[in-house]
């Protein structure tokens, strides 16, 4: 399960329906062109928190059907509705996903015992492994080393998608739990995380920059830090321009520029203006 995983985008039509043809094209582009090791399906980048349970199932179906066994697949099933998370975990396990993942429950200020019960309830329902999705900036859930350790006591919890800039905590987790998988979640900090010996990364920009991200990771693993730093600099130039223009819609426009039917973002996300579309195409021309 080690390696680089794309936080997979989903193609939607203008009414917000899943565009199956476009989704299949995104899957194939990531596998065949970006050459990533796996796909992380229905995470934040897939606009998961804007879609219905049935749409999530549809996306899980299409991705598994298109990808087959070409790459590893991780299904993000986390939801505020625990019954839905359990149902989705069972669904993707039956589909043959290699692992599940679940964001920490958010919005309500759940205490740690409630968070632990949430993960255990999901895992009690399936014969599958789970990767914690920790993204404190969006969930407001900050867990310490001891709390990660409590979650790791469940043998089915095999690792964490660590999307936080607290690299002191990252190093402590790596040192304390060498057998657990740690995936870096910030594309712009991939080199820094790789130096701390993470097992891989899961990133939004890998949809268009996966090959370069993999290069950073492999150079760092080989101790070629200066070379990796140069590739990270080029990558961060790209990321800075994407962020300035609007993260998700810009990545989708870049995919369209590459002849991938990436569709539209779901509302209330806004579409790019014509000026934004032009900028996205210019970003692709300069950097990709």
Structure-block tokens of residue 31:
């596998």
Q: Is 192 annotated as contributing to ligand binding?
A: no
Torsion sign, CA atoms 85, 178, 134, 245: negative
Question: What tens digit of pLDDT does each residue of 24-39 get?
Answer: 999 999 999 999 999 9
Residue 6 pLDDT:
98
Query: pLDDT tier at 56 (50, 70, 90 boundaries)?
Result: very high
- Alpha-helical regions (H) of the chain: 20-28, 53-67, 82-95, 112-124, 136-139, 145-152, 167-176, 190-195, 206-221, 225-245, 247-257, 274-287
* Residue 139 marked in a binding site: no
Residue-level pLDDT at 254 = 98
Mean pLDDT of the chain: 98
Residue 203's SS3 state is strand
Kindly report, residue by residue over 67-121, the tens digit of the pLDDT. 999 999 999 999 999 999 999 999 999 999 999 999 999 999 999 999 999 999 9
pLDDT tens digits, 131-167: 999 999 999 999 999 999 999 999 999 999 999 999 9
CATH, range 3-222: 3.20.20.70
Q: Tell me if 204 is assigned to a ligand binding site.
A: yes
Percentage above 70 pLDDT, the chain: 100
Q: DSSP character for 12?
A: B
| Structure tokens, 47 | 């606009």
Q: What confidence score (pLDDT) does residue 62 get?
A: 98
Residue 95: the pLDDT is: 98
For residue 44, give the nearest of 137, 117, 129, 151 by alpha carbon. 137
**Global pTM value:** 0.98
pLDDT at 228 (0 to 100) = 98
The residues, ordered by sequence, that sit 6+ positions from 278 with a Cβ below 8 Å of its Cβ are: none
The residues assigned a catalytic role are: 133, 161
Q: Is 163 annotated as contributing to ligand binding?
A: yes
pLDDT at 250: 98
Residues 96/2/155/132 CA torsion (nearest 10 deg): -80
């Amino acid at each position: 399960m080690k390696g680089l995983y794309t936080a997979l985008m989903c193609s939607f039509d203008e009414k917000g329906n899943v565009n199956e043809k476009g989704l299949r094209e995104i899957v194939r582009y990531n596998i065949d062109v970006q050459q990533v090791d796996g796909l992380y399906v229905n995470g934040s980048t897939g606009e998961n928190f804007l879609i219905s349970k049935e749409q999530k199932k549809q996306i899980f179906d299409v991705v598994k059907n298109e990808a087959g066994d070409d790459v590893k697949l991780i299904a993000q099933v986390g939801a505020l509705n625990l019954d839905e998370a359990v149902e989705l975990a069972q669904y993707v396990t039956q589909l043959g996903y290699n692992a599940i993942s679940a964001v920490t429950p958010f919005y309500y200020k759940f205490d740690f015992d409630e968070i632990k019960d949430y993960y255990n309830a999901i895992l009690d329902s399936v014969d599958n492994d789970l990767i914690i999705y920790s993204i404190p900036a969006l969930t407001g859930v900050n867990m310490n080393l001891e709390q990660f350790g409590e979650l790791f006591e469940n043998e089915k919890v095999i690792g964490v998608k660590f999307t936080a800039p607290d690299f002191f905590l990252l190093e402590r987790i790596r040192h304390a739990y060498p057998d657990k998988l740690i995936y870096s979640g910030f594309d712009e900090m991939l080199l820094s995380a790789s130096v701390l010996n993470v097992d891989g990364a899961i990133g939004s920009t890998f949809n268009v920059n996966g090959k370069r991200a993999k290069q950073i990771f492999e150079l760092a693993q080989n101790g070629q830090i200066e070379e990796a730093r140069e590739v990270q600099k080029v990558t961060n130039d790209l990321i800075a321009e994407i962020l300035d223009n609007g993260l998700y819609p810009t990545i989708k426009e870049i995919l369209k520029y590459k002849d991938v039917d990436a569709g539209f973002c779901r509302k209330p996300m806004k579409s790019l203006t014509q000026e934004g579309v032009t900028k996205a195409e210019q970003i692709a021309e300069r950097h990709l």
